[in-house]
Amino acid sequence: MKLYVEVILKLAERCNIDCKYCYFFNKENKDYASNPPYMSSETARQFVKFLRSSAPNFKETTFQIDLHGGEPLMMKRERFEEIVTILKHGLSDAAAVQFTVQTNALLIDEEWLALLSRLNVYVGVSIDGPKSYHDENRVDKNGAGTYDRTVEKIALIKQAADAGKIPGYGAICVMNPKFDARLVYETLTRTLGITNLQFLLPDESHDSVKASDVAALKRFNEALFQCWAEDDRGTVRIRSIDRMLDAILADEKRKAEIWSEAKQSIVFTLSSGGDIGHDDTLRNVIPDIFYARMNVADATFSEFLAWHATVSALLARRSAASACRSCLWREICELATRADTPLHRCKDGVADQHTIYCDCLKATYLKGAEYLALRGVPINDISRNFVEIH
């Protein structure tokens, strides 16, 4: 069986800025304080040994390694290169090994870009829109905004990508109910020239979300889709929109492929000290489920897979939540969101509810269906995955 393994690799458990919404440093959990500031080369070697230990069909496994933090570029370049090289060589006979570094970009310079070029690492940058929006939450240790410095570094990254020196770059943007989606879209795609985008809904659960914020984020999502649909350049890719349109139009063969991919995909977190965890956002909401209580120094991959399967079963809904049973978009929603974080379905530490962002998603699905209809896609194709409501 082919396997897709995505690892959120905590290279650095320290950061050079102090984002107000950061789930890692500014929530209840303080794991970072007891973990090594930076991953060691020895932990990287143990990680390779762990992945190779009793791994099923290793040569058919694709590894996506997300070099994460904290801020991963706080690590010295020499150790960064050594760790990535250890992973590249140790996993060289896998089906594929892909590397992405997720960074606030402030430490990017020509030397870093030369290294990322040699290592063939894709660059993901965190930015929240125009200066006033970005600087509301993404501040440095002195409380000063980081927008101007981030934009300066994005220009260097774009230049390197355009010259083919790095495999590509994109941006992750956290949606904010107070923000104007059009201004965010225009800033990211036209002012900064970013064409590969991922928009994240805030890390909230049924226990923390505000109804007024959900209503505002619904409007944000509608406006965001409209911006993308009206963009005659046709070059901007937004991950959630791609997946949503794919879900609406999926025939039986494509649906089988989507579910097969989801079933064969595993995502987990590795701390700087080698401790294994589940979806990184769960550390603050369901800590008892997040921690595997395993370390790559003394666990095998097969042991981990057994634990992951058990936890994933606990996180999966036993049946459709009541709000989902009578929803026209249920099948499309399941296809589009797949195995995304269960955080948004959590209530009292159990992930068995409908997503708190249900209205946001349904608004986007409606926009998607309208978009396809206006472009001449047959109604039967658009409606094939609608759920009959009796």
pLDDT above 70 for 176: yes
pLDDT above 70 for 317: no
Which residues are within 8 A (CB) of 257 and not within 5 positions of it... i.e. 6 or more apart?
A: none
Q: What pLDDT shows up at residue 168?
A: 97
Across residues 74-78, what is the average pLDDT? 97
Under 8 Å between Cβ of 132 and 86: no
Q: Which residue has the higher pLDDT, 105 or 25?
A: 105
Q: What pLDDT shows up at residue 56?
A: 63
The band of 281, judged by pLDDT with boundaries at 50, 70 and 90, is confident
Structure tokens at 81: 């290169």
**Which residue, 156, 188, 158, is CA-closest to 172?**
188
pTM for this model (two decimals): 0.92
Helix (H), strand (E) counts: the chain = 15, 10
Residue 53 three-state SS: coil
Q: How many CA atoms lie within 13 A of 216 on its CB side?
A: 14
Least confident of 14-23, 77-86, 171-180, 223-232: 14-23
pLDDT above 80 for 31: no
Q: What pLDDT shows up at residue 1?
A: 63
| Average pLDDT score over the chain | 91
The band of 262, judged by pLDDT with boundaries at 50, 70 and 90, is confident
pLDDT above 90 for 244: yes
Across residues 17-25, what is the average pLDDT? 80
Alpha-carbon gap, residue 54 to 369, rounded angstroms: 45
Across residues 10-24, what is the average pLDDT? 87
Q: How many CA atoms lie within 13 A of 100 on its CB side?
A: 15
pLDDT above 80 for 235: yes
- Complete DSSP assignment for 305-346: HHHHHHHHHHHS-SS--HHHHT-TTHHHHHHHHTT--GGGG-
The band of 318, judged by pLDDT with boundaries at 50, 70 and 90, is low
Under 8 Å between Cβ of 66 and 10: no
Alpha-carbon gap, residue 214 to 170, rounded angstroms: 26
Least confident of 108-117, 252-261, 339-348: 339-348
pLDDT tens sequence across 146-170: 999 999 999 999 999 999 999 999 9
Across residues 110-139, what is the average pLDDT? 96
Q: What pLDDT shows up at residue 91?
A: 95
* Domains of the chain and any CATH numbers: 1-390 (3.20.20.70)
* Number of residues that make up the chain: 390
Q: Are strands 237-238 and 196-200 parallel, antiparallel or unpaired?
A: parallel
Q: Which residue has the higher pLDDT, 371 or 29?
A: 371
The band of 89, judged by pLDDT with boundaries at 50, 70 and 90, is very high
The band of 390, judged by pLDDT with boundaries at 50, 70 and 90, is low
Across residues 312-317, what is the average pLDDT? 76
Alpha-carbon gap, residue 366 to 369, rounded angstroms: 5
pLDDT above 90 for 95: yes
Q: Which residue has the higher pLDDT, 313 or 51?
A: 51
Q: What pLDDT shows up at residue 220?
A: 97
Across residues 7-35, what is the average pLDDT? 83
pLDDT tens sequence across 323-351: 888 899 999 999 998 756 688 888 887 88
Q: What pLDDT shows up at residue 55?
A: 61
Least confident of 198-212, 260-274, 275-289: 275-289
Phi, psi dihedral angles at 171 (to 5 degrees): -130, 145
Q: What pLDDT shows up at residue 97?
A: 96
Q: What pLDDT shows up at residue 339?
A: 58
Q: Which residue has the higher pLDDT, 387 or 225?
A: 225
Q: What pLDDT shows up at residue 57?
A: 80
